[in-house]
Amino acid sequence: MIHPLADVCGTHIPESTNVWQFCVIFPNAIIGKNCNICANVLIENDVQIGDNVTIKSGVQLWDGVRLADNVFIGPNVTFTNDVVPRSKVYPQSFAKTFISKGASIGANVTVVAGHTIGEYAFIGAGSVVTTDIPANTVWYGNPAKHKGFITNEGVLLDMNMKDKEGRCHSM
């Protein structure tokens, strides 16, 4: 379903994906199956989105962003793609940012260009990501710092791999 008020130039959008009002999708963007792209999202040409991805309102996916399957992008997450931006000066190629399978990025996070967020990692709301994030880890703050772990099923763990009930987990 593509909302009639969306500006979708791309042809790589399966019928099972929802694109809501006021979205702009450039012609060469590749979008997977069963995605939900909420209102006011912009997706540039050199963007690849996997299956079952949720992108909440107010997100811009600039050239070079790659989202794997089952990724959650919270409202107003900001991605960058130029490490040294200047008006009317463009790099030969934009930095690539990879968000791995099952990762979740909270509202208002900023992801600085050129980093990888590992599988099932969890980035807390309002954080600024300035480094690569390992799989199954929890990060938050400005700059984001490692604060714990998370299972593939979404159970939050402290730095000692214990859940809130005190049970130990292993990865």
Domain that residue 85 falls in: 1-171
Total number of domains constituting the chain: 1
Q: What is the CATH number of the domain that holds 108?
A: 2.160.10.10
Q: Give 12-50 pLDDT, tens digit per residue.
A: 799 999 999 999 999 999 999 999 999 999 999 999 999
Let me know: does 115 contact 134? Beta carbons within 8 Å: no
Q: Which two tokens stand for residue 23?
A: 């979205």
Total-model pTM: 0.95
State the SS3 of 112-151. Answer: CCCCEECCCCEECCCCEECCCECCCEEEECCCCEEEEEEC
Q: Give 62-82 pLDDT, tens digit per residue.
A: 999 999 999 999 999 999 999
Let me know: does 36 contact 55? Beta carbons within 8 Å: yes
pLDDT for the residue 74: 98
DSSP state of 165: T
Q: Give 97-118 pLDDT, tens digit per residue.
A: 999 999 999 999 999 999 999 9
HSE (side-chain half, CA atoms, 13 Å) at 78: 11
